[in-house]
Structure 1
Amino acid sequence: MQPHIIVVGLGSGDENQLTLGIWKKLQKVKQLYLRTDQHPMVQMLTRNGIAYQSFDSLYESNDQFEQVYEAIATQLLAKAKASIHDDAESEIVYAVPGHPMVAEMTVQLLKVRCPEEGIQLTVLGGESFLDQAFTRLGFDPIEGFQLLNGSDLSIYSLNPQLHTVIAQVYDTYTASDVKLTLMELYPDEHEIVVGHSLGVEGEEKIHRVPLYELDHLQDFGNLSLVWIPRSDEDRLRNRTFARLHEIVDILRSPEGCPWDREQTHQSLRKNLIEEAYEVLETFDEEDPDHMAEELGDLLLQVMLHAQIEADEDSFNVWDVIATLNEKLLRRHPHVFGEAVAGDSAEALVNWNQIKQEEKRKKGIDVEQLPLLSGVPRELPGLMKAYKLQKKASTVGFDWNRLEEVVEVVESEWLELKEAIISLSKAEQQEELGDLLFSVVNLARFLRIEPEEAMAEANRKFFKRFGYIEQQLRLKGKNLAEANVQEMEALWQEAKKC
Structure 2
Amino acid sequence: MSAAITVVGLGSGNPDRLTLGILKTMQRASRVYVRTLSHPVMAALEELQVKLESFDHVYETHDTFPEVYESIASQLINLAKAGEAGSEVVYAVPGHPMVAEATVRLLRERCPKEQVALTVLGGESFLDEAFVRLGFDPIEGFQLLDAAELNSHMVQPQLHTLIGQVYDMFTASEVKLALMEIYPDDYPVIVGHALGVEGEECIQQVPLYDLDRIDGYGNLSLVYVPRSDDAGLRQRSFARLHEIVGILRSPEGCPWDREQTHESIRKNLIEETYEVLETIDEDDPEHMQEELGDLLLQIMLHAQMEEELGTFTVYDVIQSLNDKLIFRHPHVFGDRSANDAESALQNWEQMKQEEKRRKGQNPQEASALAGIPRDLPALMKAYKLQKKAAKVGFDWEDIHGVFLKIEEELAELRAAVAEGEAAEAQALELGDLLFAVCNAARFIGADPEEALSRTNRKFIQRFHYIEEQLAARNRSVKDSTLEEMEALWQEAKSKAGEDGDIPGEHL
Q: TM-score category by the smaller chain?
A: over 0.9
Cα deviations by residue, 1:325-357 (Å, 9 ceiling, x for unpaired): 111111111111111111111111111111111
Gaps of 5+ in 1: none
Say whether the 8 Å CA contact 2:182–2:234 is kept in structure 1: no
Quick one: structure 1 residues 401 and 2, their matched pair in 2 at CA, closer, same or farther if it must change by over 3 Å? closer
Query: Paired residue for 1:17?
Result: 17
Please say if 1:75 is aligned against 2:75: yes
Partner of 2:441: 443
Question: Which residue of structure 1 aligns with residue 382 of structure 2?
Answer: 385
Quick check: 2:368–2:392 contact (8 Å CA) kept in 1?
Answer: no
CA RMSD of aligned residues (A): 2.1
| Partner SS for 2:30 | coil
Q: Distance in 2 between matches of 1:333 and 1:450?
A: 32
Question: How far did residue 110 of structure 1 move?
Answer: 2.1
Q: Which amino acid is the alignment partner of residue 218 of structure 2?
A: G
Matches within 5 A, 1:125-164: 125-164=122-161
Mapped to 2, the partners of 1:131 and 1:94 lie a distance apart of 21
Q: Say yes or no: does 1:39 pair with 2:36.
A: no
1:354 pairs with one of 346, 351, 360: 351
| Greater CA drift, 43-52 or 428-437 | 43-52
The answer to whether structure 1 residue 330 and structure 2 residue 331 are counterparts is no
Matches for 1:83-232 after TM superposition, within 5 Å: 83-85=83-85, 90-232=87-229
SS at match of 1:298: helix
* 1:106-158 per-position Cα deviation (integer Å, ceiling 9, x unaligned): 22222233333343322222111112222222222222211111112223322
**Which secondary structure does the structure 2 equivalent of 1:116 belong to?**
coil
Match of 1:457 among 437, 455, 461: 455
Distance in 2 separating the partners of 1:188 and 1:477 = 55
Matched-pair identity in %: 60
Counterparts of residues 408-423 of structure 1 (less than 5 Å): 408-421=405-418, 422-423=420-421
How far apart, CA to CA, are the structure 2 residues paired with 1:121 and 1:432? 81
| SS of alignment partner, residue 33 of structure 1 | strand
Between 480-489 and 237-246, report the one with greater CA deviation: 480-489
Measure the CA separation in 2 of the matches of 1:252 and 1:493. Answer: 54
Distance 1:204 1:416, change over 3 A: same
Shifted more, 322-331 versus 46-55: the winner is 46-55
For 1:51, the equivalent position in structure 2 comes to 51
For 1:229-378, list aligned pairs within 5 A. 229-378=226-375
SS in structure 2 of the partner of residue 283 of structure 1: helix
Q: Which moved more, 1:312-321 or 1:440-449?
A: 440-449
**What is the SS of the residue equivalent to 1:368?**
coil
Question: Judging changes above 3 Å, is the alpha-carbon distance between structure 1 residues 97 and 440 closer, same or farther for their aligned structure 2 residues?
Answer: same
Counterparts in 2 of 1:477 and 1:162: CA distance versus 1, 3 Å:
farther
166-175 or 246-255, which deviates more: 166-175
CA–CA distance in 1 between the matches of 2:53 and 2:454? Answer: 75
Unmatched runs of 5 consecutive residues or more in structure 2: 496-501, 503-507
- Per-residue CA deviation, residues 224-278 of structure 1 (Å, 9 max, x unaligned), is 1122222333432110000011111111112212222222222222111111111
Q: TM-score, normalised by structure 2?
A: 0.92
**1:466 pairs with 453, 464, 471, which one?**
464
The one-letter code sitting in structure 1 at the alignment partner of 2:492 is: A
Deviations 1:379-422 (A, max 9, x none): 11111111111121223322223233223222222221222231
Deviation at 1:193, TM superposition (A): 2.2
Structure 1 counterpart of 2:20, one-letter code: L
TM-score, with length taken from structure 1: 0.93
Equivalent AA in structure 1 for residue 301 of structure 2? L
In 1, Cα distance between the equivalents of 2:429 and 2:257?
A: 43
Which residue identity does 1:348 align to in structure 2?
Answer: L
Contact 2:36 2:54 in 1 (8 A): yes
SS at match of 2:203: strand
Q: Secondary structure at the match of 2:111?
A: helix
Q: Which residue pairs with 1:61 in the alignment?
A: 61
3-state DSSP class of the match of 1:369?
coil
Partners in 2 of 1:451 and 1:391 — Cα distance? 17
Q: Which moved more, 1:238-247 or 1:151-160?
A: 151-160
Question: Deviation of residue 482 (structure 1)?
Answer: 4.7
- Between the two proteins, the alignment pairs up a number of residues equal to 494
| CA apart distance, 1:361 | 1.7
Cα 1:113–1:397 change in 2 (3 A) is: closer
Looking at structure 1, the residues matched to 359 and 247 of structure 2 have their Cα atoms a distance apart, in angstroms, of: 36
Q: How far apart, CA to CA, are the structure 2 residues paired with 1:110 and 1:59?
A: 18
Q: 2:194–2:201: 8 Å Cα contact kept in structure 1?
A: yes
Give, in angstroms, the shift of residue 489 of structure 1: 4.2
> Which whole-Å CA distance do the structure 2 matches of 1:266 and 1:343 have between them?
41
